[in-house]
């Protein structure tokens, strides 16, 4: 039995790549993280590898050759990375009956997108994403004056062939102004052993919204609404996640783990773009414990982009 200690340095685009997990799965070695420091821009890991000496060398060669390798320096640290080229085939079906693109009050928008990589490529995977949104009114006195909307999104991805896991750039991240308000952007769902958001290979999220009355001159340039958001990212593949106690974390699809929030949203079409403000109160969320990582909550959020 041989023990070897190495240091991996990750640039921003490689931080979420599950290299260590893949190495332990592909080769008969045991990996132990001895020290690590990870930020949003870069990270490094001191890794202790146990196993047969030749098997350790094969695993390190695999890390070096996992894709088209490149070498560069980031500050004083040498970085060995890989680049993989892929070809994706995509098909989309869409139907839109909304009365207007921005700030609609009637109709709906529905879209299904399927993506697959041809067999034999450097990585092989398939994804499916469904978005559906419908505006309606309830025939109840007073309430019938309020346009209502329900939006739902479902995402799914799977690796096949020799690819062991869905590429990190195809993970789905939930939480934030575009998915579940009241939680920090992209932080819901599976986390790695250091507590960093990992994203999921599947996700469910949506919102129910009541649009408050506005003066007619503002109806096409501003909107105020009350909302209820829900969602979560899951991981259905073979990747195993550990909680703070080192035990296997459950990342399977479970409606009991859906997070939710409610609040008020203001959208304003300004000359510089669409400004969105929201204040949300999380209703269901995970407190941090000695075993479980807690959810990152953020009540007030601001973004510039498309209408929710």
HEC string for 66-89: CCEEEEEEECCEEEEEEECCCCCE
Contacts of 298 (CB under 8 A, 6+ apart): 182, 183, 184
pTM: 0.73
135-163 pLDDT, tens digit per residue, is 999 988 888 889 999 999 999 999 888 88
Specify the CATH superfamily of domain 2-83.
Answer: ACT domain (3.30.70.260)
The mean pLDDT value of the chain amounts to 85
Could you give the angle at the alpha carbon of 129 between the alpha carbons of 125 and 135, nearest 5°? 180
Q: What is the percent of the chain with per-residue pLDDT over 70, rounded to a whole number?
A: 85
What's the maximum distance between 2 C-alpha atoms anywhere in the chain?
77
Q: What is the CATH number of domain 89-304?
A: 2.40.160.50
C-alpha distances (whole Å) from 16 to each of 70, 222, 239, 250, 287 are 18, 38, 13, 19, 24
230-289 pLDDT, tens digit per residue, is 999 999 988 888 888 888 888 999 999 999 999 999 999 888 778 999 999 999 999 999
Q: How many C-alpha atoms does 83 have within 13 Å on its Cβ side? A: 5
Domain ranges of the chain: 2-83, 89-304
Beta bridge partners of 156: 128, 202
- Please, which pLDDT band fits residue 67 given cuts at 50, 70 and 90? low
* pLDDT tops 90 at residue 170: no
């Amino acid at each position: 039995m041989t023990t070897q200690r190495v240091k991996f340095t990750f640039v921003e685009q490689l931080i979420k790549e599950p290299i260590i997990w893949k190495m332990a799965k592909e080769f008969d070695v045991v990996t132990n993280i001895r020290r690590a420091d990870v930020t949003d821009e870069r990270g490094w890991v001191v890794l202790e590898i146990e196993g047969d000496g030749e098997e350790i060398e094969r695993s390190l060669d695999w890390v070096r050759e996992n894709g088209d390798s490149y070498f560069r320096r980031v500050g004083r640290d040498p970085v060995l990375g890989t680049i993989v080229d892929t070809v994706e085939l995509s098909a989309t079906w869409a139907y839109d009956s909304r009365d207007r693109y921005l700030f609609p009050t009637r109709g709906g928008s529905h879209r299904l997108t399927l993506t697959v990589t041809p067999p034999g490529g450097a990585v092989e995977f398939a994804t499916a994403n469904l978005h559906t949104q419908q505006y309606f009114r309830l025939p109840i006195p007073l309430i019938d004056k309020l346009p209502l909307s329900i939006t739902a999104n479902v995402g799914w991805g799977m690796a096949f062939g020799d690819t062991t896991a869905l590429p990190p750039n195809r993970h789905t991240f939930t939480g934030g102004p575009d998915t579940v308000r009241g939680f920090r952007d992209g932080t819901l769902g599976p986390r790695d052993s250091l507590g960093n958001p990992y994203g999921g290979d599947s996700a469910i999220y949506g919102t129910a919204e009541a649009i408050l009355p506005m003066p007619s001159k503002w109806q096409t340039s501003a909107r105020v609404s009350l909302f209820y958001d829900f969602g979560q990212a899951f991981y259905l593949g073979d990747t195993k996640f550990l909680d703070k106690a080192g035990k296997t974390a459950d990342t399977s699809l479970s409606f009991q783990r859906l997070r939710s929030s409610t609040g008020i949203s203001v959208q304003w079409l300004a000359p510089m773009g669409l400004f969105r403000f929201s204040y949300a109160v999380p209703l269901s969320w995970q407190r941090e414990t000695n075993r479980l990582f807690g959810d990152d909550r953020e009540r007030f959020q601001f973004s510039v982009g498309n209408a929710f």
